[in-house]
């Protein structure tokens, strides 16, 4: 994955299937063996309770598996 791509998507809004904003992409996890992105690390909106979401939080960031992404454009759209 080119470094410029990583810089381009950091800071984008992450929205659910209904278009509601979950937060902002803060970072991502990479499989060091393959170099593939495995999870998006999302800084949640302050009014959201992470315990109500289907993904775990790690160090205060929501960890969303990449297979949950349906589209990457001006925002990152999740499939649910």
The pTM (predicted TM-score) of the whole model is 0.87
* Predicted pLDDT at 8: 82
**In sequence order, which residues have a C-beta less than 8 Å from that of residue 19 and are 6 or more positions away?**
77
Q: What are phi and psi of 32, to 5 degrees?
A: -65, -25
Is the pLDDT score of 2 beyond 90?
no
Q: Which residue, chain included where needed, has tokens 């205060």?
A: 60
How do residues 4-40 score in pLDDT, each as one tens digit? 566 788 999 999 999 999 999 999 999 999 988 999 9
DSSP conformation letters of 29-77: EE-TTT--EEEEEEEE-TT--GGGSSS-EETTEEEEEGGGEEEESSSEE
Hey, what domains does the chain have and what are their CATH numbers? 3-78 (2.30.30.240)
């Amino acid at each position: 994955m080119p470094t410029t791509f990583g810089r381009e998507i950091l800071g984008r809004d992450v929205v659910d299937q209904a278009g509601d904003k979950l937060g902002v992409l803060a970072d991502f996890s990479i499989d060091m063996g393959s170099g593939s992105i495995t999870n998006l690390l999302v800084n949640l909106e302050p009014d959201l309770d992470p315990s109500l979401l289907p993904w775990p939080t790690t160090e205060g960031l929501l960890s969303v598996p990449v297979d949950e992404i349906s589209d990457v454009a001006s925002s990152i759209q999740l499939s649910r």
